[in-house]
Amino acid sequence: MPVNVATSPSEVRVLIVDDSVVVRDILKRMLESDPAIRVVGMAANGGEAVELTAQLRPDLVTMDLVMPGMNGMEATERIMAFHPTPVLFFSSYFDREGMYSRLDALAAGALDIIEKPTLMPDSRWEALAAALIEKVKVLAQVPVVTHMHGGQVFTRPRARARVAAVTSPAVDVVAIGASSGGPRVLEEILSALPPAYALAVIIVQHMAEGFMPGLLQWLQQRCPLPVRVAEEGEVILPRRVLFAPDWAHLVVQPEGRVHLSAGDPVSGHRPSVDVTFTSLAKVYGTRAAGMLLTGMGSDGAAGLLAIRQAGGATLVQNEDSCVVFGMPRAAIELGAAQHVLPPSGLIRSLKAFHGERLRALTQ
């Protein structure tokens, strides 16, 4: 259990957990290539991880999944129950047969997951260095609280005050963009919608390749609406939830059809929220609504502005309920957000859109 406790107050203090000494050394070199990050300890299994988290109180823990003795999932549950600390999983074993899913990791209290390259040495290690460093610096700032196994995960206490709903009688389609922390908020929102929801729902969730099947299965068990991946050329219709696939941009085409594009990343992502929002604004105009949830970076801000400029409704998740406030903050700073609401307010707004749409159809 190597320990290094001498750090500057401004440094991000990281505990690395992995049963491979080679991986631990690679991660240490990668992270400490940024002068703002200091690795304060390294653990070879879950038991050591729990012990060192209590001893060192790092700003963030990078966690492997498969380790001898206590695995990463059990260690995360114990850390979140007794010494709440941001946890970033770094593993290639999620969603394999007989293994935990990525959604299990989020439910245990982890904030995000990065896919570990399976070969060493491998060029992908160098390619992921910048993304890993960015995630570590951002997620280390996320305040977490005690999470008992089987309970709900909170990053901050949520506002309990009742929030007025946003109304817009013209809305036919609502598009939602999310990144880090998105699955939990999406589950909260989608599970609250009625089974005959009168609007079409399109979602772009940033995720690693291979994450989508587990996410959809998880949401299908909780959402009264059909939830699936969008297909090329299909018509966008109410009473269903369509996700952009993890390999393509979802472009809304004239006459309300889906086009899937494997073009270059936009705003650093494919699928990109900006691509979907911008195309939605062009086709639906005042009949569109855009909603931007928790996430890192600024993807979706420009697209949300396009929806607002086209006369559509625009909403973003408020800071207190976000795991990472990057995407909503970027939209607010750009002047794209008409309404800033907690999940409860976003849900009430979606239900208000539903009610107005039903009234419009009966007139």
**Catalytic hit among 59, 64, 172, 299:** 299
Closest CA to 101 of 224, 249, 262, 214: 214
Residue among 91, 168, 179, 267 flagged as catalytic: 179
Is residue 180 classed exposed, middle or buried when 0-12, 13-18 and 19+ CB atoms within 10 A define those classes? buried
Contact 15, 61 (CB under 8 A): yes
Residues near 308 by beta carbon (within 8 Å), at least 6 away in sequence: 290, 314, 335, 336, 337, 338
The one catalytic residue in 83, 206, 269, 354 is 206
Any idea which residue has 């929030």 for tokens? 163
Q: Using CA atoms, how far apart are residues 115 and 73, in angstroms rounded to an integer?
A: 15
206 catalytic per annotation: yes
* CA 296 – CA 152 distance, rounded (Å): 22
Between CA 142 and CA 332 the distance in angstroms is 20
Residue 223 has which token pair? 């959402």
d(CA 86, CA 112): 9
Beta strands per DSSP E along the chain: 12-17, 37-43, 60-63, 87-91, 112-115, 173-178, 200-205, 227-229, 241-243, 249-253, 257-261, 288-292, 313-317, 339-341
Tokens of 92: 């290639």
Q: What backbone phi and psi angles, to 5 degrees, belong to 325?
A: -90, 15
Cβ neighbours, 10 Å, residue 26: 18
Could you confirm whether 83 is annotated as catalytic?
no
Q: Cα(171)–Cα(198) distance, rounded to whole angstroms? A: 10
- Which one, of 27, 21, 61, lies nearest residue 44 by Cα? 21
For helices 21-32 and 123-139, the axis angle rounded to 10 degrees is 60
18 among known catalytic residues = no
Catalytic positions, written as ranges: 179, 206, 299
